Structure 1
Amino acid sequence: MPARLPAFTAPGRFWRGNLHTHSTRSDGVLPPEEVCRRYRAEGYDFLALTDHFLGLWGYPIVDTLPFRTPDFTTILGAELHSGPMENGELWHILAVGLPPAFAPPAAPDFKVHPGMETGPQIAARAVAAGAFVAIAHPQWSGLTLADARSITAAHAVEVYNHGCAMGCDRPDGFGIADLLLSEGRRLSMIATDDAHFSEPDHFGGWVMVKATENSPDALLAALKAGEFYSTQGPELRDVRITATGVEVECSAVVSVVVQGAGTASKAVHGQSLTKAMIPFSVLKGTPWVRVSLIDAAGRRAWSNPHFL
């Protein structure tokens, strides 16, 4: 029997959401209610407002419950900071599903101060509190592999950050994520906006989460289980791992790419591709695989990894 990625076997339907967003409660330019209104108006099913969890702004975990509607929900969260990383700057750790009473770190601002928690410590504390935790924008942060290795409690790596794409052309987290996967770390991959609404940093990357209902608890459980894929628009409809290769079904694209450890990779190109099969014979014995799609407009989608 072929194996299928959990996003395509889990019960329910796909819900579109953004997991990384800012408002006037930290350094964003729109108030929380307007941020939520815009995401709902753009067809999103859910949003995590993740303002910077610093003393400068009163350590906000913004109450977005008043902005929920029958067709739109919110998940409480924050972008946590502590540190330092190897480059001397503070960690940026995305925590979605934090309780409102999550204890703040000794992080009054974006500077390093004596006695701070380490990044691994605050990430582990967020996971213990029930949050889905991701290493934020590795390329923008200047994250080293040693930094990334130290965060052993994280569920995911932020592999595409639209704000970093628009603001500094440093959107990527795949290099760090792939190296961790090749060391055996079982991590998922998220695409986000990191929207501040001060530039075109919104509606550019999101997750499609498979769940039985559009509720915070159901969405968080699915995120932690890896029952989602990430996209800028293209749709992943199935990924099957057979005895001979990787079979992909999707919306119309021009490229289907399967990546693995090291140099293991193979692409199929064409017009209006909706199915592709990549044989294992060209993937050099990789212990894991993941799928990327590219459509005619250059927009991409990404599966979570599968360990063989």
Structure 2
Amino acid sequence: MKERIYLLPKEGNFYKANLHCHTTISDGKLTPEQVKEEYQKNGYQIVAYTDHKKYCPHPELNSKDFLALAGLETDINEIRPGKERIRTRMFHINFYDTNPDEMPEEKARYCAADYWNYDLSYVNSYIKKMKKLGFLASYNHPYWSMQNYDEYTQLEGLFAMEIYNHGCELDGLYGYNPQAYDEMLRSGKKIFCLASDDNHNEYPFGHPLCDSFGGFTMIKAKELTYPAVMKALEKGDFYSSMGPIINSLYIEGNELVVETSPVQKIYVKMEGKNCYMKVAPPGERIKEARFTLTGREGFIRVACRTEKGNFANSNAYFLEDIPIDFTTE
């Protein structure tokens, strides 16, 4: 039997997470407690509270079946006299605290300051400082932020970026950013991808413009504890989705094996514009695909799509980092 290399860990449990959330602490309409209640009703075990420029951990919300991740969203905006805010570019970055018990006073002081220097060297120095304080940095909604390749590919120190932001998708079809993720990867950035809600809850649940429960990240961790979940995030033991489920992802010999919930298409994207694919016949769905790897793919990442157009995306895996022997059959 050929050895299996698990890209998503074999051991552990999947936990459903919303990693971008706003509450009444900033510009959201629900309290942190209400967010917990509603997300638990919809099958979530994890919410990262990322209020705008408000670092406010919520350990009181933690329980055996729910984990509140401490974080914030920082926005660094372009200031141009006479230019409307809706026409200005801005860096929005989520920061997730890997250990809220360390340096709480310094974190609260540094995170509460206003930063308006729209300059890449400054933005990168800010990310570097936050990393030293123990935060993971994720770049948010590049399309909505009106940024281009020359800007976001120069960001340094990121662990991830949003490939899907549900709130931005509802705002103006700005939410799905697979091209930006591929451009990051092709520029040499070995980062992961997240799907999130970015919920503000301006509209009631059930309304077609409600920005909850549209994008989520499935984190595979040994247990639902803060250290275990943060370790899984740092390692990339997760995938992002708008609905489809990736049950298993591994390499057996030189074959990539993908097991999913029923979907219409399973694609393997890579460094070049070529890709591997398995597509269901009209009226049918597929749940498994095998693809032979050659070693020339550069990186691989799986994208699954349902007939309704909802995607699940794995993180990218660079073949140079995976011990595959392509010299044997």
TM interval, short-chain normalised: 0.7 to 0.9
TM-score normalised by length of structure 2 = 0.82
Q: Is the 8 A contact 1:82 1:91 kept in 2?
A: yes
Matches within 5 A, 1:151-300: 151-199=155-203, 200-242=210-252, 244-270=254-280, 271-280=284-293, 285-300=296-311
| SS of the residue 1:7 aligns to | coil
Choose the corresponding residue for 2:72, options 66, 78, 91: 78
Count of aligned positions: 296
The answer for the alignment partner of 1:61 in structure 2 is 55
**Cα offset, 1:292, TM superposition:** 0.9
TM-score normalised by length of structure 1 = 0.87
| SS of the residue 1:297 aligns to | coil
**Cα offset, 1:186, TM superposition:** 1.0
Structure 1 residues not aligned, in runs of 5+? 54-59
Larger radius of gyration: 2
In structure 2, distance between residues paired with 1:138 and 1:132: 18
| SS of the residue 2:239 aligns to | strand
The answer for the alignment partner of 1:4 in structure 2 is 5
Q: 1:73 to 1:291 in 2, by over 3 A?
A: same
Structure 2 residues not aligned, in runs of 5+? 81-86, 204-209, 320-329
- Is residue 2:131 matched to residue 1:137? no
| SS of the residue 1:152 aligns to | coil
**Cα offset, 1:3, TM superposition:** 5.8
Q: Is the 8 A contact 1:48 1:96 kept in 2?
A: yes
CA RMSD in angstroms, aligned pairs only: 2.6
Q: Is the 8 A contact 1:106 1:117 kept in 2?
A: no
Q: Is the 8 A contact 2:159 2:234 kept in 1?
A: yes
Q: What amino acid is the match of 1:290? A: R
Identity over aligned pairs, percent: 28
Q: 1:243 to 1:183 in 2, by over 3 A?
A: farther
| SS of the residue 1:82 aligns to | strand
The answer for the alignment partner of 2:83 in structure 1 is none
Q: What amino acid is the match of 1:273? A: I
